[in-house]
Amino acid sequence: MTFNSLYFIFIFLPLTVFLVWIVPQKAKKTVLVLISFLFYAWGNPRNLLFLLGSILFNYMTGIQMGMLREQGREKTLKRVLTAAAAADILLLCLFKYTAAGLPVGISFYTFSVLSYLFDIMQEAAEPQRNLLNFALYVSFFPKITSGPIAQYRDMEKQISKIRISQPQLFRGLQLFLVGLAKKVLLADQLGAAFSMVTAQSRMSVLSAWLGMALYSLQLYYDFSGYSDMAIGLAGIFGFEIKPNFNYPYLSKSVSEFWRRWHISLGAWFRQYVYIPLGGNRVSDSRLFMNLLIVWTLTGIWHGSGLNFIVWGLWHGMFVILERFVIKDRFDRVPRIFRILMTDLIAFFGWVFFFSPSFSAAAGYIGQMFGAGGMGIIDRAGIYYLVQYAVLLIAALLGSVKVIRWLITRLFYRNSLRLGESALNMAAFIGTIIMLICITAGLISNTYQSFLYFQF
């Protein structure tokens, strides 16, 4: 089951909200866990077996780690952590990098259980002795399939007692609909346009660059839309999950881009890989290796192909250059040029991301520079550019805060001189209109899965 299905929106979600609200406080957690299991098992019950196995294994490991810490057996504690983490990662690799068939969300919930074990090791959290609490942390349906990767230290207190309020419900529903609108009204349309442009056997330079831009915007709206939906859903049930995107295409450097894009993944690698390796409190040569390791692992996390490793190293190379070579030399360059350069680097990197192999990526890049034999501009490129111009402009404006600025200016800063009741009515009407447009889009368009499901 996915967030962008009519069944989820109009049946599963309303029933879930109703059930969680009407049951007694003591039963809310149990209901949420059972609903999360149902959500995850939907379409492929086999997936639930792997999830349950991961929950039980890591729950028992956490209990054992707590006992070893109380006994002061630090060496044995480290060995247990190493063995458990190796088992979790080995299972992930077995499914992710072989033809065994990938259980949906395994990359995300594996990083969740590893966060739990590492937080115990770092004494940032206590072992969870309530199995129901731990099961809810791992399986919570808003985040299990594609994140955000909520660290256990941030969720520990929230899962102990569920608190639900009407303001949270309304804010969560609004954010959910915003994310759904990103997916249905923008990402899916951009994806269809990308498929049309890249379906050509050979492309002109214009077509190839247009395809790269379409995919870059599609990926942003698809994944940030999913993240907004997940965070909104979590809010409905009283959980606060940190934002996963912060307008990354406004970044002035690649380092800043990765503080704004997939924030939860970057935070995970920083907390559990980069800092334990010494972070930036080491020599320059060691710092270079630390960054290289993190970006290689980032690429491998996304896929086993050489193209993903190259994609990770592509970003890592610029982060290293900014750290050791560029430093603050570009600070006096106008902000708009630094943003455009960062976006160009990010867009170019997505070619390795969407290509099925490294050779395919190399072939696509060749066409971006004229190797397709179709010239710089051709009729097909002009046709697609004109056809998708409005979509591109809307997507670009939305990715750089223009639309958000207009809404904030008109309503929240009250340029229209509206009273509180009028603002509430406008928000309600806007929500209804958005839901109608989304529903029409879901009915009229072919279903498109979320891009990050494959990771």
Quick check: 165 and 57 in contact, CB under 8 A? no
Q: Look at residue 359 and give its three-state secondary structure.
A: helix
C-alpha 335/C-alpha 316 separation (Å) is: 22
Pick from 163, 137, 130, 138: nearest CA to 20: 163
- Residue environment code for 83-118, b if the CB has 16+ CB neighbours within 10 A, otherwise e: ebbeebeebbeebbeeeeebbbbbbbbbbbbbbbbb
C-alpha 431/C-alpha 442 separation (Å) is: 16
C-alpha 8/C-alpha 24 separation (Å) is: 24
Quick check: 381 and 214 in contact, CB under 8 A? no
Quick check: 238 and 167 in contact, CB under 8 A? no
Q: Count of CB atoms within 10 A of residue 50's CB?
A: 17
Of the residues 28, 96, 262, 302, which is catalytic? 302
Tokens of 410: 């008109």
> What spatial distance separates the first Cα and last Cα of the chain, rounded to whole Å?
17
Q: Does 302 qualify as catalytic in the annotation?
A: yes
In one-letter notation, the amino acid at residue 109 is: Y
C-alpha 314/C-alpha 321 separation (Å) is: 11
Cα dihedral 238, 400, 260, 385 in deg (nearest 10):
110
Burial of 312 (0-12, 13-18, 19+ CB in 10 A): buried
**Between the CA of residue 289 and those of 95, 282, 341, 375, what are the distances in Å?**
28, 10, 25, 42
Q: Look at residue 331 and give its three-state secondary structure.
A: coil
Residue appearing with tokens 């399986």: 139
C-alpha 229/C-alpha 8 separation (Å) is: 12
The residues annotated with a catalytic role in the active site are 302
